[in-house]
Amino acid sequence: MNPIEHLWDELERRMKKHQPKNQDQLRQTLQAEWEEIGSDVTEKLVESVRSRLYECYRMKGYPTKY
């Protein structure tokens, strides 16, 4: 239900391409990949909030497809 979870999933998918050797490389790679996630991805997630809330309301709090 939480759109931020989808953003974390996207970052995780991107990080699987890398194998940082130390904490500094990990930090740099995370930041670079985070910056590469386009605004279109975040805009889509923000726009999906309304439909997520409506689905929750429609299902009267029961599980949804999200």
pLDDT tens over the chain, length 66 residues: 788 999 999 999 999 999 999 999 999 999 999 999 999 999 999 888 998 889 999 999 888 887
Is 63 inside any structural domain?
no
Domain count, the chain: 1
Contact status, residue 34 vs residue 26, Cβ threshold 8 Å = no
Model pTM score: 0.70
45/37 Cα distance (integer angstroms): 12
- Provide CB contacts within 8 A for 1, sequence distance 6+: 52, 56, 64, 66
Is 66 inside any structural domain?
no
SS3 24: helix
Is 64 inside any structural domain?
no
**Structural domain boundaries enclosing 11:** 3-58
Half-sphere exposure of 38 (CA within 13 A, CB side): 3
Amino acid letter, 37: I
